[in-house]
Structure 1
């Protein structure tokens, strides 16, 4: 039987695991949360007590953690994947981290006999759970071919964006600068409509049928008008982190990013006021300033 592993079984990692299992992979996993481990075993996964044991079991391991420090420890730590996977195995770095962090991880893995695919994903919680994620995959062509079945199990669209570690993360940083900006503009438009007395249903119908309508806008507006600000699988900390990565890359390259920088401030305000909320909760911060709310 084909074997795979997942490190990090939260909103995104649990979706990866579910779809690997669904597609016939004997899937092992590790997470620090007992609740997540229980949910993983209930779906048919093989819980392991450590990262090392996942690495020992699996031919490829998806790493879906929150930041670069965690990714580095999982991959390169004394009890990490590189030290415990069989030669020819592959680490699939699906977490979003800073491009230079992925470059450094790849450099330290060189000569280890373990392959690296740098492939952050887009699609959020629905995409992860539905197996419809978009992958921005960077790796050697033969390694990508070797792991195509595992990647296809969790993704509907796989873009080969480069061959070097960091290439995938760089494309993701560009993407998130755009998505964050679209989110911010949607939040502001929703607040403007609320103050003007426009109903949320009217606004959604018009936006969805206009040239501005897209998955990002439509989903955000639906969450806003239904007042679903928590527990939708799109925690604000993730986009806040991603915009931070985008802007740091822009600073390194000397690229002006006025719109993304403004979006960052909107997300910073939302995360500061409502740290447990989801992306759309930024709208509430604006609504509180203007004294109006947008409802369906």
Structure 2
């Protein structure tokens, strides 16, 4: 792992499951990390990990050469950067904003243009890999921005990611590629839920079904990662239903502007909307399987201790 100089400071705005994992990795890499989140318990957790809690986005940005933004939406990113007590006026000129939130490509472009007028650089750098990837420093980063921004952010990116893709010299391309990833991820989760529910309704044992499909052509990374949540009935949110309501909504918005049909993404979005409407929005995204369970009167969940012993 590349190690930062002990004096190198990075601000982090957004200490949710992903942002906290990334912040801890940066602390471990030798950065002086000052973070802000609207939840006091998140800032206390950062302080316990060796970082410093900030009282506002502006305080997080003060004296920082890099500012990592990992919030939920473009609106939150706008507020964190340019709102009252926002980060940008306090951020030293020449500093790089690493925008790792999933936002529309147009928003990333607009943020880059606006930051250029204030003397700052933007790296459009959304991530994939989930909470486990954030905590282990094994994220995939889909980034676009100027060579200067990449050079300044190189050590920080190496601390949190296993792969960093340089997709272009301007913001927007990174967010476009992330939209493609989220389209596939959402469709794969929805398909995994539908397939497992279908198999159980037809009489298959859910754990055996999972084992067989995991070693067959119908498997996917999402199938192997999310179906265990369904089998255990564990819907502690690693990534929530509401995240895919938002992300697939962004995908469909972009497609509508392009006049490009996305029937599979649209159907998957409807499933996530159904789950949110049923009160499951804050549960793990694998909870979309509960829609099928309720419709068919079945249970996909089968804790390991209830499974039949194998001969």
TM-score, normalization by structure 1: 0.96
* Residue of structure 2 in register with 1:55 after alignment: 61
* Residue of structure 2 in register with 1:200 after alignment: 206
Q: 1:270 & 1:129 partners in 2: Cα distance? A: 28
- 1:282 correspondence with 2:288: yes
Aligned ranges 1:203-222 → 2 under 5 Å: 203-222=209-228
Among candidates 225, 236, 239, match of residue 231 of structure 2: 225
CA contact (8 A) 2:237 2:285 kept: no
Q: 2:180 & 2:12 partners in 1: Cα distance? A: 26
CA contact (8 A) 1:8 1:29 kept: yes
Among candidates 263, 269, 291, match of residue 268 of structure 2: 263
* Residue of structure 2 in register with 1:70 after alignment: 76
- 1:99 correspondence with 2:105: yes
Structure 1 position 179, deviation (Å)? 1.0
Among candidates 233, 238, 241, match of residue 236 of structure 1: 241
Q: 2:20 & 2:84 partners in 1: Cα distance? A: 25
Among candidates 100, 112, 120, match of residue 114 of structure 1: 120
Q: 2:63 & 2:233 partners in 1: Cα distance? A: 43
- 1:90 correspondence with 2:61: no
CA contact (8 A) 2:140 2:162 kept: yes
RMSD between aligned residues: 1.2
CA contact (8 A) 1:28 1:57 kept: no
**Structure 1: segments with no counterpart, 5+ residues:** none
- 1:44 correspondence with 2:28: no
- 1:292 correspondence with 2:311: no
Structure 1 stretch 212-221 or stretch 238-247: which is displaced more? 212-221
Report the secondary structure of 1:19's partner residue: helix
Q: How many residues align structurally?
A: 295
List 4+ stretches of structure 1 deviating above 3 A. Answer: none
* Residue of structure 1 in register with 2:184 after alignment: 178
CA contact (8 A) 2:237 2:283 kept: no
- 1:2 correspondence with 2:8: yes
- CA deviation map 1:85-135 (0-9, x unaligned): 111111000011111111111121123211110111111111111111111
Structure 1 position 275, deviation (Å)? 2.2
